[in-house]
Structure 1
């Protein structure tokens, strides 16, 4: 990170995560720092354009594919070897913000495809310089530096950036659910999907995270048909923390307070992405507590009670 960014002197440095935008300065920096070193002038046999040194991506071919993404006609001038780079850069600087991210994914997919070629696959030096994992790591570091809320995954698809701490929690929660409350996994995965894939679906993310919690509570108390009733039942069990149940109730109330989120409504919900973020993070913590506490405490009590019942009385 530069001196200006570290001490907040950079006038173009955004204060919030960049998600549904791609400022021109961001595009220029991507072009200069990442794209430039991956491209060469293709479709030209003249000697001055034959020093590619195994550089992976042809400029004219990339621009042609960018035009497909942006639904633009290709212009004959795009094939001018002396100016093809400038035309590609100009198009990237002026296209819609979402097409810029389409192009970033495209570059990754093109590199991944080249890696399947036996010629490149056998060249460790090429993989170490131009391989997909190198591009992916450089891009994700670039996004972190510029506070861009996207992250390129193993399939060269951009998803919402998730901190390592939350990633670890999500992995642990899915493992806990698989061990104890498997029916809730589908709801939890949907909640994460709606929150991290574009276009965001905040309403359904909230709906699914609450449904995951409800699924767990209904497995603990099968006779209760709603999360609210399940919480009331748990409040009668002194083994559960009243403070924890109060938090769970408030998250449930929060999700239900917006019409059209948990149940159908005549008014369109006014849910922001930050609301879905809150519910998912809070829901992840609740699920983690429920599954781990139930596994460690409640199940032990059930086992002990069963053992006591199985011991014959002393005569």
Structure 2
């Protein structure tokens, strides 16, 4: 929501999605969510979390944490948290997201934190959203919903392929867009085979079976078969690469979203 100053033209409205950087508003807001809704809670286990953080994230000696023991009561972790805080506000923008993913993996059942982080990312115009414990370069809420639903409500084989697609897409150090698209298409293949009852059928066979049974509109079948055909021809996605691939993040994101939406549609039609 815009402020009074923005509506009056006294302050510029920020419209640029933050994909390759992070301004102070976003960084501060993300920290506030973690600090007030997780780290600062009275029952938060600082011993267990910071030990895991030092061991698996910072890769520092666990016994070098600056824990103060007064001899009475619980140990004091204030200096440990100052070091965590210092890292968060001095590190690169992508390392903030690395840290958040570590926190999400440490507390996979905490849906409240995930939802609060997503609301903050949306409000501060981040180009990323939390999906299945990972920060994905998807900022449209409808698209996020389609991918989340397909992963959260799919069969094991479908979920495995979608998670593979998401993992290849969200690997910030070495993204693999070709294999992300391949996994997304494979997820559709798995879903089509399941609902058509033909475990050994090709995607085309499975879609035709769904059409014959009145579970898929002919136009939708043809549309997806053409999309599937594209992945068989373009840039060697489903076959050996003949040359340098020109696939990019936008391509992989598009296929992940479209395939997730198609999977959700098949589930509804087959129900």
TM bin, normalised by shorter chain, reads: 0.5 to 0.7
SS in 1 for 2:236: coil
Q: Count residues with an aligned counterpart.
A: 246
**Does residue 99 of the first structure (1) align with residue 95 of the second (2)?**
yes
* Unpaired runs of at least 5, structure 2: 69-76
Contact 1:213–1:283 under 8 Å retained in 2: yes
SS in 1 for 2:245: coil
The 2-side partners of 1:95 and 1:101 are apart by 10
The 2-side partners of 1:66 and 1:12 are apart by 39
The 1-side partners of 2:268 and 2:89 are apart by 50
Aligned to 2:241: 265
In the superposition, relative to structure 1, how do residues 29 and 87 fare at CA in structure 2: closer, same or farther (>3 Å)? Answer: same
In the superposition, relative to structure 1, how do residues 55 and 195 fare at CA in structure 2: closer, same or farther (>3 Å)? Answer: same
Aligned to 2:26: 26
Contact 1:206–1:276 under 8 Å retained in 2: yes
The 1-side partners of 2:86 and 2:104 are apart by 20
The 2-side partners of 1:37 and 1:292 are apart by 36
The 2-side partners of 1:107 and 1:218 are apart by 35
Contact 2:66–2:80 under 8 Å retained in 1: yes
From the CA coordinates, give the structure whose radius of gyration is larger.
Answer: 1
Aligned to 1:278: 254
Q: 1:55-109 deviations in whole A, cap 9, x for unaligned?
A: 74769x95994696345789x9978999876654432222233432343345567
Aligned to 2:180: 205
Aligned to 1:147: 125
The 2-side partners of 1:133 and 1:208 are apart by 26
SS in 2 for 1:258: helix
The 1-side partners of 2:131 and 2:258 are apart by 25
Contact 2:177–2:247 under 8 Å retained in 1: yes
Root-mean-square deviation (Å): 5.2
Shift of 1:152: 7.2
The 1-side partners of 2:31 and 2:194 are apart by 52
Shift of 1:274: 2.1
Q: 1:202-228 deviations in whole A, cap 9, x for unaligned?
A: 322322333344453799697x97546
- Which aligned pairs between 1:166-177 and structure 2 lie closer than 5 A? 166=146, 170=150, 174=154
The 1-side partners of 2:245 and 2:112 are apart by 42
- Which aligned pairs between 1:116-195 and structure 2 lie closer than 5 A? 134-148=112-126, 149-151=128-130, 157-160=133-136, 163=142, 165-166=145-146, 170=150, 174=154, 186=157, 188-195=158-165
- Which aligned pairs between 1:294-305 and structure 2 lie closer than 5 A? 295=270
In the superposition, relative to structure 1, how do residues 246 and 31 fare at CA in structure 2: closer, same or farther (>3 Å)? Answer: closer
The 2-side partners of 1:64 and 1:217 are apart by 41
Which structure has more relative contact order (CA 8 Å, sep 6+)? It is 2
The 1-side partners of 2:207 and 2:187 are apart by 18
SS in 2 for 1:192: helix
SS in 2 for 1:151: strand
Aligned to 1:16: 17
Contact 1:173–1:287 under 8 Å retained in 2: no
Contact 2:101–2:135 under 8 Å retained in 1: no
In the superposition, relative to structure 1, how do residues 264 and 108 fare at CA in structure 2: closer, same or farther (>3 Å)? Answer: closer
In the superposition, relative to structure 1, how do residues 201 and 9 fare at CA in structure 2: closer, same or farther (>3 Å)? Answer: farther
